[in-house]
């Protein structure tokens, strides 16, 4: 914005990989008088949310709703199912996988970490190999991020399930879907996941402050013998109260008002349409990055994230300085960088309640910022992205016509 202005014009482009731009309908649903969390109107709201959220995780089992951000749901997944000293297998996909590992250690678990270079997703073969060595079945859980939020690498959950089965290993399978849920296909039941961790502030188009545990029967059984201490995170009281639409402690009523509406919106669009839309955005963005002649941090393409894209800058260019220039000039926020690649890349979020035109605004702001920042790149990224979108809509129209 101009130096002599105290206000930037127009709508902020919140292109971090979550929270995502909040739809007005969700914000307005939360902007309502608060209701008695023990009264009959709440019971209806509670049931609507508790039933609805199952359709998002694609599970017939209960989903626990926490008033806490995703980090809390990570902790809940662990403390409800495991006991002090249990071994858990995790995969070093990046910053967030590392944080979950650190958390597990703080909680008294013994972690084994399949090393990674922070640029790829989890490899089923490596997990299978690791599990096969654990003949005594001392490993009690395998924990993977569906999408590593630090870099944008999508791991093949269904294949990992098969790898665990191939190893004949009884470990619980826990998956973090915080930056993938409701943006790309995910099937808790069909893919045999035992605990799925989810959050509100990405594909669900809600503010941060709510997170989830979708749980299998096997996980419920494990919970009965789990010895890690727990109270706030305990599933049992939740499950009991949830049956009648209530919660053991005062829930975040306004978040539930928003959740009920966000689930409704996802179904109005159609979950499959939501996934196609996000895939189109991801394809267009990758086309744009290619057009600029820049490199995507995640690789190879089989790991490309559907929800955001990490863009590496040429050597010698600081991505934090770039983000700052873009924010000042074009009112756009990107996600930061982490670990060995800190300051070397930035993340363009392309998830949540956005459309093609908005995405083009994002990519154009990026191309213009590259220009203003003097970062070496080719023009033509936006053009490539537009071509991708036009082509996608043309084939969509053809498919519908045939």
Q: How far is the CB of 352 from a second copy (least distance, A)?
A: 9
Q: How far is the CB of 33 from a second copy (least distance, A)?
A: 6
Nearer to a second copy, 66 or 191 (CB): 66
Q: How far is the CB of 83 from a second copy (least distance, A)?
A: 12
Nearer to a second copy, 61 or 67 (CB): 67
Closest CA to 21 of 313, 333, 239, 310: 333
Q: Taking the mean position of all CA atoms in its chain, how far away is CA 224? A: 29
Nearer to a second copy, 62 or 291 (CB): 291
Nearer to a second copy, 108 or 192 (CB): 108
3-state secondary structure the chain: CCCCCCCCCCCCEEECCCCCCCCHHHHHHHCCCCCCCCCHHHHHHHHHHHHHHHHHHCCCCCEEEECCCHHHHHHHHHHCCCCCCCEEEEECCCHHHHHHHHHHHHCCCEEEEECCCCCCCCCHHHHHHHHHHCCCCCEEEEEEECEECCCCEECCHHHHHHHHHHCCCCCEEEEECCCCCCCCCCCCCCCCCCEEEEECCCCCCCCCCCEEEEECHHHHHHHHHCCCCCCCCCHHHHHHHHCCCCCCCCCCHHHHHHHHHHHHHHHHHCHHHHHHHHHHHHHHHHHHHHHHCCEECCCCHHHECCCEEEEECCCCCCHHHHHHHHHHHHCEEEECCCHHHCCCEEEEECCCCCCHHHHHHHHHHHHHHHHHHCCCCCCCHHHHHHHHHHHHHHHHHHHHHC
Q: How far is the CB of 60 from a second copy (least distance, A)?
A: 24
Q: How far is the CB of 65 from a second copy (least distance, A)?
A: 12
In the numeric block, the tokens 């770039």 are attached to 322
Sheet holding 345-349, edge to edge: 295-296, 308-312, 345-349
Nearer to a second copy, 303 or 338 (CB): 338
Nearer to a second copy, 240 or 273 (CB): 273
Nearer to a second copy, 192 or 245 (CB): 245
Nearer to a second copy, 16 or 174 (CB): 16
Q: How far is the CB of 291 from a second copy (least distance, A)?
A: 11
In the numeric block, the tokens 């998830």 are attached to 351
Q: How far is the CB of 265 from a second copy (least distance, A)?
A: 6
Q: How far is the CB of 244 from a second copy (least distance, A)?
A: 14
Q: How far is the CB of 397 from a second copy (least distance, A)?
A: 8
Nearer to a second copy, 221 or 355 (CB): 355
């Amino acid at each position: 914005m101009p130096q002599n202005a105290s206000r930037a014009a127009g709508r902020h482009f919140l292109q971090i990989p979550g929270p995502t731009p909040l739809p007005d309908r969700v914000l307005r649903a939360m902007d309502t008088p608060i209701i008695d969390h023990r009264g009959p109107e709440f019971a209806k709201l509670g049931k609507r949310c508790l039933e609805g959220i199952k359709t998002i995780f694609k599970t017939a089992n209960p989903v626990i709703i926490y008033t806490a951000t995703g980090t809390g749901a990570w902790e809940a997944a662990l403390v409800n199912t495991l006991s002090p000293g249990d071994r858990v297998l995790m995969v070093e996909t990046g910053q967030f996988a590392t944080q979950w590992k650190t958390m597990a250690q703080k909680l008294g678990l013994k972690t084994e970490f399949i090393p990674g270079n922070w640029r790829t997703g989890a490899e089923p073969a490596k997990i299978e190999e690791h599990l096969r060595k654990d003949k005594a079945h001392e490993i009690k859980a395998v924990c993977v991020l569906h999408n590593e939020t630090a870099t944008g690498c999508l791991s093949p959950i269904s294949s990992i399930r098969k790898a665990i089965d191939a190893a004949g290993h009884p470990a619980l399978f826990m998956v973090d879907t915080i930056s993938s849920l409701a943006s790309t296909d995910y099937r808790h039941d069909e893919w045999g996941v035992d605990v799925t961790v989810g959050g509100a502030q990405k594909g669900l188009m809600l503010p941060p402050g709510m997170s989830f545990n979708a749980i299998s029967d096997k996980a419920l059984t494990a919970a009965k013998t789990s010895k890690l201490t727990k109270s706030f995170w305990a599933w049992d009281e939740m499950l009991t109260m949830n049956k009648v639409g209530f919660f053991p402690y005062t829930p975040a009523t306004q978040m539930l008002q928003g959740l009920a509406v966000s689930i409704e919106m996802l179904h109005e669009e159609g979950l499959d349409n939501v996934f196609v839309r996000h895939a189109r955005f991801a394809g267009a963005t990758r086309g744009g990055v290619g057009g600029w002649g820049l490199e995507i941090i995640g690789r190879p393409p089989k790991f490309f994230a559907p929800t955001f894209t990490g863009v590496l800058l040429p050597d010698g260019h600081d991505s934090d300085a770039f983000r700052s220039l873009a924010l000042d000039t074009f009112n756009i926020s990107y996600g930061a960088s982490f670990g060995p690649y800190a300051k070397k890349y930035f993340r363009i979020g392309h998830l949540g309640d956005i459309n093609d035109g908005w995405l083009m605004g994002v990519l154009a702001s990026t191309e213009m910022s590259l220009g203003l920042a003097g970062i070496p790149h080719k023009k033509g990224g936006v053009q490539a992205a537009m071509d991708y979108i036009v082509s996608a809509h043309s084939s969509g129209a053809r498919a519908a016509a045939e």
